[in-house]
């Protein structure tokens, strides 16, 4: 979509939040929310204002040259998991290389 619209001077991006404090999240039992919260590197759920700020930024003139991007709004959730996965693979290869 971004490629098709770029010639029309239109941008297309995606905001991808994780767990956001909403009525849906409130319907999850407290034990479940606590289990999720401890996994979040920032230690808290996103507020709707956190997501709205990213949307306002992408809609503003500062991002006229940005298109086709997926912006993860995860307070480190995505980065932390990817980093641990990479480090795990590296350590595993090094361990096998020694044998």
Taken in order 66, 70, 74, 79, the sign of the CA dihedral is negative
Query: Is residue 5 within 8 Å of 11, Cβ to Cβ?
Result: yes
| 12-50 tens-digit pLDDT | 899 988 889 999 999 999 999 999 888 888 889 999 999
Alpha helices in 1-99 (DSSP H): 2-6, 23-26, 30-37, 48-59, 77-98
State the pLDDT confidence band at 80, using cuts at 50, 70 and 90: low
CATH 3.40.640.10 describes domain 11-98: no
Bridge-based pairing of strands 70-73 and 14-17 is parallel
């Amino acid at each position: 979509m971004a490629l098709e619209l770029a010639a029309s001077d239109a941008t297309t991006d995606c905001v991808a939040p994780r767990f956001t404090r909403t009525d849906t999240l409130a319907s999850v039992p407290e034990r479940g929310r606590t289990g999720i919260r401890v996994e979040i590197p920032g230690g808290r759920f996103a507020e709707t204002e956190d997501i709205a700020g990213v949307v306002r930024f992408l809609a503003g003139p500062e991002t006229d040259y940005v298109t086709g991007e997926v912006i993860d709004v995860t307070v480190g959730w995505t980065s932390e998991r990817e980093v641990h996965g990479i480090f795990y693979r590296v350590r595993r290869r090094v361990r096998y290389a020694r044998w």
